[in-house]
Amino acid sequence: MIKYFANPRATRDALTEGELAVVSLRAARAARAELLTWPRFAPTPLHELAQLARANGIAALLYKDESQRLGLGSFKALGGAYAAGVAIRERLAAGSAISAASLTLACATDGNHGRSVAYAARRHGCSCVVYMHESAPADKAAAIQALGALIVRTAGTYDDSVRIARAAAKQPDWLLVPDTSDDPADPTPARVMQGYGVMALELIDELETPPTHVFVQAGVGGLAAAIAGNFAEAYGARRPMCVVVEPERAACVFASAVLGHAATIDGPLDTEMAMLSCGEASRVAWPVLDRRADAFIAIDDDAAVHWTRQLRSGAAGMPLDVGVSGAAGLAGLQCALADPSTKRALGLDADSRVVVIGTEGAPPRS
């Protein structure tokens, strides 16, 4: 099953000042300059899945593999840790006798953002408290605790944990490091997205010619905005068609596209794509997606689970380390190709060169 919405507001005009304040090649390069000083930092691989491309009748299928990013298992390693480092430096530069050891970083997470913030806390010698909703995966909580952070389980959904973390971080010497906000001017989610922009730079460097399409998954929309915005600046009118993929049970960005503003959806948001289980679109990311995302699709869990298994088994030409959320972009592509009207609307054909992002690795085996 697939739900499809073509964005009537999408444009290939130059980015506005407002968009560039959130995501830009300049900001991504600044983030990369810092990340190059980190232990274990290296560009992640871009695999050509020629066998699957042939089976789909398209010219090329390129898979950006984030499963080993900084040893943290997901693209989120780029964003939260970078934004946390900036926030710590700013707090210390503000004066007084405060030290990094006296600071506590706080955030809410489905799993991967919290691990990135916990990594930053360990690097900088801070304490860290991570708020996780009651359905967030146990293996994600264990990985965060292994970095020395305190886990606080909260009732409700991810969006509830965001509000709880925001309230808790009002304590003295606490720093909130959110990857989403209901304040469009909040600088920290923008810095998180600027960290994600490092992956966009890697893709731009690795691609010989601009792709025709990029399928990118969304939770609150930060990654999708980072990819769409940086590609729009880099390629201009030649930018790829950007297709945002979400679980049908947690499609807050899809709802935003339909309504024309950052939206909140109701419901339990339960999905196998657990890292995408979000009900409130980021007010920081949305203005970029509103102009740079060409289409939005929502898929069911069965499709994501099926393509996760296919990728792990080597059906794409090589076995890939990927979790269900990580496979969502490729699953969205497969759903689009299987639906004649969506395939036609997106212009997917024998000349298409498609990029997808494997945003996270598989969970550890129990």
Does the pLDDT at position 231 exceed 90? yes
Q: Are 291 and 10 in contact (CB under 8 A)?
A: yes
- The number of angstroms, rounded, from the C-alpha of 319 to the middle of its chain's C-alpha atoms is 22
Q: Are 121 and 102 in contact (CB under 8 A)?
A: no
pLDDT of residue 366: 56
> Going edge to edge, which strands form the sheet with 150-154?
150-154, 127-133, 104-109, 174-176
Q: Average pLDDT, whole number, for the chain?
A: 96
| Tokens describing residue 188 | 């920290």
Q: Are 131 and 154 in contact (CB under 8 A)?
A: yes
| Helix/strand/coil for 244 | strand
The alpha-helical segments, DSSP class H, found in the chain are 17-20, 25-35, 50-56, 79-93, 112-124, 138-145, 158-168, 187-206, 222-235, 252-259, 286-292, 301-313, 328-338, 340-346
CATH: 3.40.50.1100, 2.40.110.10, 3.10.20.70, 3.30.300.30. Which one for 76-176? 3.40.50.1100
* Mean pLDDT to the nearest integer, 129-135: 96
Q: Are 107 and 116 in contact (CB under 8 A)?
A: no
Amino acid at 94: A
Q: Are 178 and 188 in contact (CB under 8 A)?
A: yes
Determine the Cα–Cα distance for residues 357 and 240; give it in Å rounded to an integer. 14
60-65 and 46-48: which strand pairing?
Answer: antiparallel
pLDDT digits (tens, 9 = 90+) for 94-114: 876 789 999 999 999 999 999
Determine the Cα–Cα distance for residues 357 and 60; give it in Å rounded to an integer. 14
Nearest CA-CA partner of 80 in 269, 220, 283: 220
Which residues belong to the active site?
Answer: 76, 110
Please state the domain extents for the chain: 2-74+187-358, 76-176
pLDDT of residue 98: 86
3-state secondary structure 78-94: HHHHHHHHHHHHHHHHC
Amino acid at 108: A
Whether the model clears a pTM of 0.75, i.e. scores above it, the answer is yes
* Mean pLDDT to the nearest integer, 347-359: 98
- Residues contacting 116, CB < 8 A, separation 6+: 72, 74, 76, 77, 78, 79, 80, 81, 84
| Fold topology of 2-74+187-358 | Rossmann fold (3.40.50)
DSSP 7: -
Does the pLDDT at position 365 exceed 80? no
First to last CA, the chain: 31
Amino acid at 313: S
- Kindly report the number of other CB atoms within 10 A of residue 13's CB atom: 9
| Helix/strand/coil for 239 | coil
pLDDT digits (tens, 9 = 90+) for 10-25: 999 999 999 999 999 9
Does the pLDDT at position 90 exceed 90? yes
